[in-house]
Structure 1
Amino acid sequence: MTKTKKSDFHPNDFVVYPAHGVGKIVSIEEQEIAGLRLELFVISFEKDKMTLRVPTHKATDIGMRSLSSPDVVTRALETLKGKAKVKRAMWSRRAQEYEQKINSGDLMAIAEVVRDLHRSDDQREQSYSERQLYEAALERLTREVAAVSGTDEAGAQKRVDDVLVSRAA
């Protein structure tokens, strides 16, 4: 087995894991699994009280990435100001697309979901599944904004809310 290069991830780095959002690499450990020695990133998702072990040589293949740069965050927040783009497809089809965008780990795609599913107070109610997808996307966006800007989640939440409210005005 050839030794793969250690990627650009190090302990204490914040990373984005597509299916779970922002986590922090706690350590890199070796384990024997099915007779093979594997080097693993140990990633903690504190808010979800979850720890994930990802083989270091698979990390980039599965879409794990570093936090977005501040200008990507700025562009994502700009995306929120855009007009919601809602296709005329059946809800189940749209819901599937939103779910894929959320789990892609792509901040711009996540921002599009937040933009498209955001409702201001005077708009019609959201269905339960719409609300679930909206909140999942909003949480992913907020956590990454917080991690990139070095603020807490409440501060990041306010920043995102301000953009969404200004759009409605």
Structure 2
Amino acid sequence: MPPAPGRGIVSPPPPHRAPVRPSAAPAVVATAAKTAPRPKEDFKAGDHVVYPTHGVGSVQGIETVEAAGYTLQVIVVTFEENRMTLRVPVNKAASSGLRKLAAGANMQQALDTLKGRARIKRTMWSRRAQEYEAKINSGDPLQIAEVVRDLHRNAGQPDQSFSERQIYEQALDRLAAEVAAIDKTDKVKAIEKLMTYLGKAEKGEKADKAESAADTTEE
């Protein structure tokens, strides 16, 4: 019998189908994607390295660790002075600032900086202190040398304030630690070496003053 006018034909509901489960292949791919790529071993046990906010440390080795489903290779670095151990992911070593000791010309440039004249900005000390601390925490020996040069006081110059002295000693200690590691000596001898360069700057200033005085006399 044909359907009554105005009424459509109601189709029976589709048969129930069980949901299709994904194959195991994508899960394997996802797991593989989480695994950190094999890094290049630029650091090895026994290397002296510099970490920006902690200074000179020693590499104990490279370990493989698992965290949050990821497999990572980390560089284990120890810092003897503050008895701290740091683990830096190998694939983030460069971005974190971890580096090997400054070689040859790079460190020599920093040492030569100590022989230059202090360059002190005419700004509030609080602002300059922040800039000095940022330079120290950069881990760059050239920037650290600039802090040492600018805050060093020669005989006859005004004494440093307490906060100036603290920042100066921190910068001097950081630079001396790296010089000592490069020269394979201790920090005391490294500081003596740095003072030699700072002494050359003092001699240069005295020579400039003497020359200026002589020019004034001639006039």
TM (normalized to structure 2)?
Answer: 0.73
Query: What's the CA shift string for 1:84-104, capped at 9, x where partnerless?
Result: 000001111111111111001
Conserved in 2, the CA contact under 8 Å of 1:76 and 1:107? yes
- Give the SS at the match of 1:164: helix
Query: What's the CA shift string for 1:124-156, capped at 9, x where partnerless?
Result: 121111111111110111011111122221221
Conserved in 2, the CA contact under 8 Å of 1:70 and 1:148? no
Deviation at 1:60, TM superposition (A): 0.6
Deviation at 1:39, TM superposition (A): 1.4
Q: Looking at CA atoms only, which structure, 1 or 2, has the larger radius of gyration?
A: 2
Letter in structure 1 aligned against 2:127: R
Measure, in 1, the Cα distance between the counterparts of 2:199 and 2:85: 35
Match of 2:130 in 1: 96
Does residue 36 (structure 1) correspond to residue 70 (structure 2)? The answer is yes
Deviation at 1:72, TM superposition (A): 1.7
Conserved in 2, the CA contact under 8 Å of 1:44 and 1:51? yes
Does residue 47 (structure 1) correspond to residue 84 (structure 2)? The answer is no
- Give the SS at the match of 2:136: helix
Match of 1:22 in 2: 56
Conserved in 2, the CA contact under 8 Å of 1:41 and 1:53? yes
Does residue 58 (structure 1) correspond to residue 92 (structure 2)? The answer is yes
Measure, in 2, the Cα distance between the counterparts of 1:23 and 1:121: 34
Deviation at 1:7, TM superposition (A): 4.3
Deviation at 1:18, TM superposition (A): 0.7
Does residue 128 (structure 1) correspond to residue 128 (structure 2)? The answer is no
Uncovered stretches (5+) of structure 1, i.e. residues with no partner: none
Measure, in 1, the Cα distance between the counterparts of 2:132 and 2:164: 9
Percent of pairs with identical residues: 52
Measure, in 2, the Cα distance between the counterparts of 1:118 and 1:7: 40
Conserved in 1, the CA contact under 8 Å of 2:48 and 2:100? yes
Structure number having the greater strand percentage: 1
Match of 1:78 in 2: 112
Match of 2:17 in 1: none
Measure, in 1, the Cα distance between the counterparts of 2:70 and 2:137: 29
Conserved in 1, the CA contact under 8 Å of 2:135 and 2:143? yes
Deviation at 1:107, TM superposition (A): 0.6
- Give the SS at the match of 2:91: coil
Which portions of structure 1, spanning 4 or more consecutive aligned residues, are displaced by more than 4 angstroms? none
Uncovered stretches (5+) of structure 2, i.e. residues with no partner: 1-34, 204-219
Conserved in 2, the CA contact under 8 Å of 1:38 and 1:55? yes
Deviation at 1:4, TM superposition (A): 4.0
Corresponding pairs, count? 169
